[in-house]
Structure 1
């Protein structure tokens, strides 16, 4: 069982004419409302790929019995939810400019419960965006632990990050988030990736880098027509975690992550285009050649 900790949210995804400077405005060209939240996106991706997954999250009274709730139940996701009946489920407002750059505003809503609830002890866990103190507790108690600070990075102090880095097996983030962590910790990129057993740096359409045992490996992105980049990083994580937990090597798991991410950018919405295992396997063979074998599962 793969556990994922973090936000369940409703996404308002907007394509805009440009990203404005302060005190200016821009036109919204398209707007889509869809299921989201970094942790929930990853959990749904894992479930669709055939993995067993538990989602540790917080939701508001508007979630119970909703279409989103029903969708998770249909997929067999184990919901370990903290519920705040009087609050909204977390909501993200994302604005994407013509060059693919994004700005996001996030209403925590029910996710404020992470600040007060007790963290569970989990044998194989990925910590997505959530309260820093909660993730510190998770990291300290976990078996295999993966961490992604995501867009909540601004909430983490140097002490939070140091404690988590001392406890995890995998650090995964995009190049902007690595830069932010380096600034907070006063470390170089080389020092940061050397402080954990394994690190993955995603760089959107430029691909990703895997750092492991002193070696740096490049993982190319899978080129497809891009409709919207939102959710590609979460899909990469879903593909990687599903494959790695099943016993694939870290490099093969990264390629599976890259293939999984390619489906998401072809549509608008973080979960809309997520593939099943057979779909992912077919595209993997088209892009990378023979599908890899794997050893015994890690969970």
Structure 2
């Protein structure tokens, strides 16, 4: 029996979460609703202008959010990312472990821990300004192959394709997983990641990936299609299993070429931060605990529906042991 359900690899970032008026984005000339990479100076200026706004800190990064939500559902997971020996780095490790995730890293004495300023407007849309810091120095040497072997799945985020060393660490993770009969799950992360690395993402999906995660925008960007159902069907020709979120409609599931739409849980969102990460967590929990793909997607939809009713990417309620109650009556 495997020790871990999922072995996650991603950019280790401390999320700095703030609710703002939409005019703040206009004044700062920030593109709404996407993730933008910024340098430390630019991020510092923005934080200075937010000095009077209440902020919350969370250990984060896309894959880290997923690992935390898996642990919340009752799963076991470990996470590999890079932080430094600074205040944010110390906070990151402690916060991850308190959330139930084994966090392994070799702290670096140089540079600064990566941070992501998450700006949420009243319409629940989130805009992210990320200073990657030391997270981009993750290397193949940071990957613990023995822990990887002890996992059912590895989960790799597409954001890692922005750096040469992080890309190499990701490919080593996928190669090692394939060599040791560990399934590979990959998230396309963001439309800009897809647009920048489309050919590589297609190659990776064909060569390594057992389970793809994406949202509709990412699916359309990768496939070149205009219809969501056609997009997810195309991705299903590259990988045996695909999960594509479709907002309030739920999520598309493709298994061996068959496309189905699994309904979601209607809620009024207050903050969409981490919704896709939470969905992936629910699905991965399900797949590692004997759920069918459709049932796993239904649980993923539920976890995502709960996260969008929270401030930030962390659930305030425990979902462990509630699967039977929530999924009662759902038919595969």
Question: Which bin holds the TM-score, normalised by the shorter protein?
Answer: 0.7 to 0.9
Question: Would you tell me which structure has more helix in proportion to its own residues?
Answer: 2
**SS, match of residue 107 in structure 2:** strand
Structure 1 residue 106, shift from structure 2 partner: 1.1
Paired position in structure 1 for 2:80:
56
Structure 1: where are the runs of 5+ without partners?
Answer: 293-299
1:113: how far off?
Answer: 1.4
Residues 155 and 218 of structure 1: is their aligned pair in 2 closer, same or farther, counting only changes over 3 Å? Answer: closer
Q: Distance between the aligned counterparts of 2:250 and 2:265, measured in 1?
A: 8
**What aligned pairs does 1:183-262 form with structure 2 within 5 A after superposition?**
183=224, 189=231, 190-262=233-305
Q: 1:67 to 1:193 in 2, by over 3 A?
A: same
* CA deviation map 1:134-187 (0-9, x unaligned): 32232222120000021371685344313311211011011122233235xxxx
Aligned counterpart in structure 2 of residue 12 of structure 1, from 12, 16, 22: 16
SS at match of 2:81: strand
Following superposition, the deviation at residue 51 of structure 1 comes to 1.1
Of 167, 171, 191, the residue aligned with 2:208 is 167
Q: Count residues in correspondence.
A: 286
> For residues 59 and 153 of structure 1, what CA distance do their matches in structure 2 show?
22
Q: Please say which of residues 54-63 and 98-107 is displaced more in the overlay.
A: 98-107
TM-score (norm 1): 0.82
2:218 aligned residue: 177
SS at match of 1:83: coil
1:177-219 CA distance string (max 9 Å, x none): 2233235xxxx72433311111111122231100112211111
Tell me the CA shift for residue 30 of structure 1: 6.2
Shift of 1:15: 3.3
Verify the 8 A CA contact 1:38 1:234 in the aligned structure 2.
Answer: yes
Residue in 2 aligned with 1:295? none
Q: Report the TM-score, using the length of structure 2 for normalisation.
A: 0.75
| Structure 2 counterparts to residues 78-93 of structure 1, below 5 A | 78-93=102-117
Q: For 1:136, which of 145, 162, 171 is the aligned residue?
A: 171
Unaligned runs of at least 5 residues, structure 2? 33-48, 162-166, 225-229
Tell me if structure 2 keeps the 8 A contact 1:263–1:275: no
RMSD: 3.1
How far apart, CA to CA, are the structure 2 residues paired with 1:5 and 1:87? 20
CA distance in 2, matches of 1:13, 1:211: 34
The structure-2 alpha-carbon separation of the partners of 1:157 and 1:32, relative to structure 1 and needing over 3 Å to count, comes to: same
In the alignment, is residue 146 of structure 1 matched against residue 146 of structure 2?
Answer: no
